[in-house]
Amino acid sequence: MRTDLRVPFAEKDEAKRLGARWDPARKVWYVQNQADLAPFSRWLPTGSAPSDAGAPGKAPAAKKPQKSGGGTVVVGSKYVEQPRVCDCLPWEVCDKCRSMALSG
Q: Strand 28-32 to strand 21-23: parallel, antiparallel, or no bridges (unpaired)? A: antiparallel
Is residue 58 domain-resident? no
More confident residue, 102 or 19: 19
Model confidence pTM above 0.75: no
- Structural domains of the chain, count: 1
pLDDT digits (tens, 9 = 90+) for 30-57: 999 988 899 999 999 875 545 555 444 4
- Tell me what percent of the residues of the chain surpass a pLDDT of 90: 34
Q: What rounded mean pLDDT belongs to the chain?
A: 75
Is residue 16 domain-resident? yes
Q: Stretch 15-33: mean pLDDT, rounded?
A: 93
pLDDT at residue 29 in the model: 93
Is residue 36 domain-resident? yes
What range does the domain containing 32 cover?
Answer: 2-43
Q: Are 62 and 81 in contact (CB under 8 A)?
A: no
Is residue 38 domain-resident? yes
Is residue 25 domain-resident? yes
